Amino acid sequence: MTGTNWAGNLTYHATALHQPGSIEELSALVAAAPSARALGSRHSFNAIADTTGVQISVAGLPPVVEVDAAAREVTVSAGLRYGELVEELDQAGWALHNLASLPHISVAGAIATGTHGSGDRNGSLASSVAGLELVTADGTVRSVRRGDPDFDGMVVSLGLLGVVTKVTLDIIPTFQIRQDLYEGVPWESIETDLDAITGSAYSVSLFTDWGAGGAGQAWVKSRADAAPREEFFGARPAARQLHPLPGEQADVATTQLGAAGPWWDRLPHFRLGFTPSNGEELQTEYLVPREHALEAIRAVRALAPRVQPHLLISEIRTIAADALWLSPSHSVGCLAIHFTWRMHVPEVTALLPVIDAALAPCAARPHWGKVFETAPQRLLEAYPRIPDLRALADRLDPEQTFANRLTSHWLSR
Ligand SMILES: Cc1cc2nc3c(=O)[nH]c(=O)nc-3n(C[C@H](O)[C@H](O)[C@H](O)COP(=O)(O)OP(=O)(O)OC[C@H]3O[C@@H](n4cnc5c(N)ncnc54)[C@H](O)[C@@H]3O)c2cc1C
């Protein structure tokens, strides 16, 4: 046994956790393993990182943060958590285009599942991957670059193609962000002005419990030179620092109230210095093409009485399209509907097919790192490049060393 995931809702079945200190050691380990899974920072809520063989962490490989200013790229060791590289990057004058709500997740784990932040013009974190180095099942070290054949299948890989050791990311000049929060966005505004709301800033998140009052909070992250708004689509400016969950300690959240600060200290919702303990929560998230956004919101609102007893909070955000085969925002800009659940495992498990059925008409794609119940046939409809990934995995990993029960179910492999 190798412990639990971050949320503690599952215990991994792996027989051992290896943390090689060199690429040579990693190659030998992979080549000898009949069954293996790479393990990142354990933040996924489902068994995607589990195996009955061995888990391999790349967190012990020598740390690398190498900026290539001319190419506007940074190459980082795959096991680094975003929070461990952002300040160094900032000090060198550079930034990543976006971050997830939490900076504590590993780069390789985030990109393997298509993790994203928010913003109409911001693609997922995986969309900024310009290159990868990975060790495939036979122990070979391979490098791939954007534009190479199959590259678009290799980034959001669900860990099926090998152990990623280095990731090259696009960078942009560093920038400052201000974060303004507004309280009480009515459903009427969301119905009439959704595109204007999500397009009103660099990154916008709406938090709701699906109650009659609409979105209790809007988190609006703008470039520092943007003028603050007195009013936000019927919502009032927050007069104090807030946590997405009413009543929770707000000092764990990144600085609000319009104070400008570096991108890495404003784009996540939670502060880097705040170390989350095991979270008493589960998460589910679906991404729907923008054309179905309101239909999807209405479908979840109709489920409010069933959802609310088990919900801590929902977040609504947007993600730009990318070309990556298994990305939840593959080829189309999306609205994401996220659920942070109470740790009500049986009740949430029973609700998952209900939510999936409600969102299926909206061509909803589940987030690979969270809990969901979607039949393989529907996954195939939502993710039409699944057969291409399967073929790529068959080529790079013919013995299915990196498959596990969950990925084989999803991919009907
Ligand atoms: C509190 C919290 C907040 C979150 N916020 C967001 C959010 O804002 N947006 C969002 O989209 N998601 C969010 N997530 C989900 C999270 O980003 C994903 O679950 C992500 O995959 C976690 O990364 P990890 O390093 O913990 O990966 P793990 O859970 O350890 O592994 C996930 C997958 O990545 C693969 N993997 C890990 N390392 C490697 C490697 N070196 N090579 C190949 N494959 C590898 C694993 O095999 C597995 O398939 C959140 C999760 C939590 C717990």
Ligand 1 mean position, distance from CA 46 (Å): 10
Q: According to the model, what pLDDT value does residue 196 have?
A: 98
Residues 14 and 53 sit within 8 Å (Cβ to Cβ): yes
CB-facing half-sphere around the CA of 108: CA atoms within 13 A: 29
Share of the chain above pLDDT 70, in %: 99
pLDDT tens column, 172-218: 999 999 999 999 999 999 999 999 999 999 999 999 999 999 999 99
User: Of all protein residues, whose CA lies closest to atom 23 belonging to ligand 1?
Assistant: 109
User: Which 8-state DSSP code applies to residue 135?
Assistant: E
Residue whose Cα lies nearest atom 41 of ligand 1: it is 164
Share of the chain above pLDDT 90, in %: 92
- Interval between CA 304 and ligand 1 midpoint (Å): 28
- Rounded mean pLDDT, 235-262: 92
256-290 residue pLDDT tens: 999 999 999 999 999 887 765 557 899 999 999 99
- Give the model confidence (pLDDT) of 53-92 as tens digits: 999 999 999 999 999 999 999 999 999 999 999 999 999 9
Highest mean pLDDT among 48-62, 225-239, 246-260: 48-62
As for ligand 1, residues whose beta carbon falls within 6 Å of it are: 6, 37-44, 48-49, 58, 78, 100-102, 105-106, 108-110, 112-113, 115-116, 158-159, 163-164, 279, 283, 367, 369
Residue identifier of the C-alpha nearest atom 44 of ligand 1: 159
Predicted TM-score (pTM) of this structure = 0.97
For a pocket test of ligand 1, which of 18, 23, 43 has the largest count of ligand atoms closer than 8 A to its C-beta? 43
- DSSP-derived pairing of the beta strands 334-342 and 281-289: antiparallel
Domains of the chain: 65-174 (3.30.465.10), 176-374 (3.30.70.2520)
Q: For the CA atoms of 355, 361, 363, 368, what is the dihedral angle to 10 degrees?
A: 20
Burial of 24 (0-12, 13-18, 19+ CB in 10 A): exposed
Angle at 367 between CA 312 and CA 52, to 5 degrees: 100
User: What pLDDT does residue 163 have?
Assistant: 98
Measured in whole angstroms, the distance separating CA 181 from the mean position of its chain's CA atoms is 22
Q: How far is the CA of 368 from the centre of ligand 1 (A)?
A: 9
Atom of ligand 1 nearest to the CA of 6: 53
pLDDT, residue 59, reads: 97
> How many other CB atoms are found less than 10 A from the CB of residue 66?
11
Mean pLDDT of the chain: 96
Which of 105, 129, 327, 389 to probe ligand 1 with, by most ligand atoms within 8 A of CB?
A: 105
Tokens 């419990």 -> residue: 209
Q: Which helix (H) or strand (E) holds 90?
A: helix 82-91
So what's the pLDDT on residue 276?
A: 58
Q: Are 197 and 218 in contact (CB under 8 A)?
A: yes
pLDDT of residue 230 exceeding 90, the answer is no
Q: Of 109, 152, 100, 114, give the one whose Cα is nearest residue 327.
A: 114
Atom of ligand 1 minimally distant from the CA of 164: 42
Ligand 1: atom nearest CA of 113 is 21
Task: Calculate how far, in angstroms, residue 82's C-alpha sits from the geometric centre of ligand 1.
Answer: 11
Calculate how far, in angstroms, residue 107's C-alpha sits from the geometric centre of ligand 1.
Answer: 8
Q: Which atom of ligand 1 is nearest to the CA of 276?
A: 1
State yes or no: pLDDT of 1 exceeds 80: no
- Give the pLDDT of residue 321: 98
User: What is the whole-number distance in angstroms between the Cα of residue 112 and the centre of ligand 1?
Assistant: 7
Q: Running DSSP on this structure, what letter comes out for residue 44?
A: -
Is 162:397 a contact under the CB 8 Å cutoff?
yes
**pLDDT tens-digit readout, 186-197:** 999 999 999 999
- Hey, how many other C-beta atoms are within 10 angstroms of the C-beta on 412? 12
- Cα of 227 vs centre of ligand 1, distance in Å, is 35
